[in-house]
Amino acid sequence: MKFLILLNCFILFLNIAQAQESGSDSIPALNKEIITFVNQHLKKKVGRGECWDLAAEALNTAGAKWNGRYVYGKALDPEKDTIYPGDIIQFEGVKIKYNKNNQQVTEKMMHHTAVVYRVLGHGDYELAHQNTDFSKRKVGISELNTKYVVKGKMFFYRPTR
């Protein structure tokens, strides 16, 4: 009996591992290269430490096509398109309000660029970015839940070759 329970647990573990792997396989190859670049530079300054430098150097290193300004590949609609790690977000005039530890927090991203590091759920992401209050001019990770965005626009892009 114990053997059957252990065997069932092992099979369940393998199924979970397989499901997680297959989810990772759906991430576009170029996006995986962007995340590899980000991982190699966590807690380090990329370029001059500007937010834009992280996306620009990741795209250039991966051989992606982009306009050299603020269009980082194929435009996406996050309401219709799947967002993956390695996609890039350009923020324009964005204001975010949420409660943390019983206090109202307001964040502003007037002209800011970030890489989607992890997708936690629909509209809920971990971002890799630099030139922020929390990580200064080094690459750091923070969370963004778009339901707290009260103003501004966000433009999502998929890197392309």
Q: Is residue 21 part of a domain?
A: no
In this prediction, residue 4 carries a pLDDT of 41
Which single residue is written with the structure tokens 């190859």? Answer: 29
Mean pLDDT confidence for 57-86:
97
DSSP assignments along 93-142, one per residue: EEEEEEEETTEEEEEEEEEEEEEEEEEEETTEEEEEESSBTTTBTSBEEE
How far is Cα 68 from Cα 125, in angstroms, rounded to an integer? 25
Over residues 23-35, the pLDDT tens digits come to 467 999 999 999 9
How far is Cα 78 from Cα 93, in angstroms, rounded to an integer? 18
Average pLDDT of the chain? 89
- 120 Cβ neighbours under 8 A, 6+ residues apart: 126, 143
Q: Is residue 142 part of a domain?
A: yes
- The answer, yes or no, to whether residue 18 has pLDDT greater than 50, is no
Q: Is residue 20 part of a domain?
A: no
Q: The domain that contains 108 carries what CATH number? A: 3.90.1720
Mean pLDDT confidence for 41-65:
98
The model's pTM is: 0.84
In this prediction, residue 16 carries a pLDDT of 38
Number of structural domains the chain divides into: 1
Q: Is residue 14 part of a domain?
A: no
- The answer, yes or no, to whether residue 72 has pLDDT greater than 60, is yes
- The answer, yes or no, to whether residue 8 has pLDDT greater than 80, is no
In this prediction, residue 84 carries a pLDDT of 98
Q: Is residue 116 part of a domain?
A: yes
- The answer, yes or no, to whether residue 10 has pLDDT greater than 50, is no
**Residue 83: DSSP 8-state:** P
- 36 Cβ neighbours under 8 A, 6+ residues apart: none
Q: Is residue 150 part of a domain?
A: yes
Q: Is residue 45 part of a domain?
A: yes
Over residues 120-139, the pLDDT tens digits come to 999 999 999 999 999 999 99
Q: Is residue 6 part of a domain?
A: no
Q: Which H/E stretch holds residue 88?
A: strand 88-100
- The answer, yes or no, to whether residue 95 has pLDDT greater than 50, is yes
Query: Comparing 5 with 113, which gets the higher pLDDT?
Result: 113
Provide the residue range defining the domain that includes 90: 27-158
In this prediction, residue 1 carries a pLDDT of 55
